[in-house]
Amino acid sequence: MQKIKERILEYLAVLKLKGDMKSPILCFIGPPGIGKTSLGKSIAAAINRKYVRVSLGGVHDESEIRGHRKTYIGAMPGRILQSIRKIKSSNPVMILDEIDKVGSDHRGDPSSALLEVLDPEQNNSFYDNYLELEYDLSKVLFIATANNLSNIQPALRDRLEIIDLSGYAVEEKIEIAKRHLIPKQIDMHGLSNNNFKLNDAALKKIIEDYTRESGVRELDRQLASIMRRQAKDLVTNGKIKTTITNIDVEKILGKPKYSNEIYKTANMAGVAVGLAWTYVGGDILFIETQLSEGKGELKLTGNLGNVMKESAITALTYLQANAKKLNIESDLFIKKNVHIHIPEGAVPKDGPSAGITMFSAMASAFTGRKMKPYLAMTGEITLRGQVLPVGGIKEKVLAARRSGLKEIIMCWQNEKDVEEINPDYIKGIKFHYVKNMLQVFDLALV
């Protein structure tokens, strides 16, 4: 969270020099369970201001923000001024939680009402319908949180200073568990007077084998399960184990839910491993290609969105156009049907990052050459054969690391994104930066 810490320190430095300033409107974007709301609470404590949280999830009435006129029965001020009245401070840290989940219907559009609240040029004279007075909100430090930037209205997004929080690496999760989660769970389960510890190896096993997330919410639940078992043992036997090992973890939590073994090798030609971004962090997906006798038809299955379907068609056209360069017999495209499938058909998949993976899977199927093991890739393609940059690189790279992959192919323009990741978290991963699909072909196939 280096960027966020720097940003808050800059804000505090200006505040110290000037004594008073218009507060910025920060917006933390990141997967669930990563600590966006907790971070707001920490900022309030650090700058010694009162903290208040306004949950905007599901709010679809404009008067929730602006207040009702007094002529209505049950009229009351808007949520913003109610919160300020409740904590009795005109310069608190106010968390506007889940700003991307605001609804709209016939009663108005709350996200449009928020424009006045969150515009530093206007909010010094915010008008509440109930008060019938202008109120100065410019001293309030607003911090919005959201999971998905694309769900925020464009005019509202323009007024926010976006700060990305991506997923945690395994090493970061171990530290978070040791410093925060374990002490909290020990206290919650009445085990404060009993000395016992989870070693790093056991924590790593819980993180890698029982959770698949960017945040730490599921990890917190798994630690709670271990604490409940410890509490039960203490009550029934009068004593508990002082150190919890990997074997104890498996006894308490059962067999591992997730295995990295399936990602490490793609044993047959036509199977490539891609990296995907989801709103809960990075993920790994297989792209399988099978050729069958037919007339050159292309079938796509696995609940794909329009963007991914177009990527597959583009990749096939590029293969056909460059068959000679790639040593593929051109009559194969007429004699064979191509079927591309992405497993887990119940999960919708879309986005502009599977282009080179689909190209590699098809190239592997047509040439009969297997994909290099321990290799994943992400990037979009063009008909000219260029590889385009994509987003969500940190989440994707951490997902590859979690899954035990050793090499990643991506666009050369994404190198700057990889440089922002702490080198300790990506040790052992080799990156190949490519400009065109011929380079991908040479790197990916054995």
In the chain, the number of structural domains is 3
Residue-wise DSSP of 121-187: TTGGGEEETTTTEEE--TTSEEEEEES-GGGS-HHHHTTSEEEE--PPPHHHHHHHIIIIIHHHHHH
- Which residues form the catalytic set? 353, 396
Residue finishing a domain among 102, 135, 164: 164
Write out pLDDT tens, residues 368-377.
888 888 889 9
CATH code for the domain in which residue 79 is found: 3.40.50.300
Domain membership of residue 179 as a residue range: 170-253
Q: Which two tokens stand for residue 122?
A: 């206007």
Rounded to 5°, the CA angle 117-118-120 comes to: 105
So what's the pLDDT on residue 120? Answer: 80
Cβ proximity of 306 and 348 under 8 Å? no
State the Cα–Cα distance between residues 409 and 432, nearest whole angstrom.
Answer: 5
Residue finishing a domain among 221, 253, 285: 253
Same domain, 98 and 204: no
Same domain, 98 and 143: yes
Q: Which amino acid is at 60?
A: H
Q: Is 238 left (phi over 0), alpha (psi -120 to 50) or beta?
A: left
So what's the pLDDT on residue 409? Answer: 93
Same domain, 9 and 124: yes
State the Cα–Cα distance between residues 80 and 73, nearest whole angstrom.
Answer: 20
Residue finishing a domain among 164, 197, 226: 164
State the Cα–Cα distance between residues 116 and 382, nearest whole angstrom.
Answer: 42
So what's the pLDDT on residue 260? Answer: 61
Please provide residue 279's backbone torsions phi and psi, each rounded to the nearest 5 degrees: -70, -10
So what's the pLDDT on residue 264? Answer: 54
Same domain, 20 and 148: yes
Write out pLDDT tens, residues 144-174.
999 888 888 888 888 888 888 877 878 888 9
Same domain, 310 and 418: yes
Same domain, 219 and 354: no
- pTM summary value: 0.77
Q: Count CB atoms within 10 A of the CB of residue 110.
A: 25
Do the strands 197-198 and 243-244 form a parallel or antiparallel pair, or are they unpaired?
A: parallel
Same domain, 310 and 381: yes
So what's the pLDDT on residue 266? Answer: 56
Same domain, 243 and 289: no
So what's the pLDDT on residue 348? Answer: 76
So what's the pLDDT on residue 83? Answer: 92
Same domain, 9 and 121: yes
CATH code for the domain in which residue 347 is found: 3.30.230.10
Same domain, 32 and 82: yes
Using 50 as the pLDDT threshold, list the residues of the chain that sit under it: none
E runs forming strands in 382-427: 387-388, 407-411
Same domain, 107 and 203: no
Q: What's the number of CA atoms in the CB half-sphere (13 Å) around residue 193? A: 4
CATH code for the domain in which residue 181 is found: 1.10.8.60
Write out pLDDT tens, residues 384-432.
889 999 888 888 888 888 778 889 999 999 999 898 888 887 888 999 9
Same domain, 360 and 429: yes
So what's the pLDDT on residue 408? Answer: 93
Please provide residue 28's backbone torsions phi and psi, each rounded to the nearest 5 degrees: -90, 120
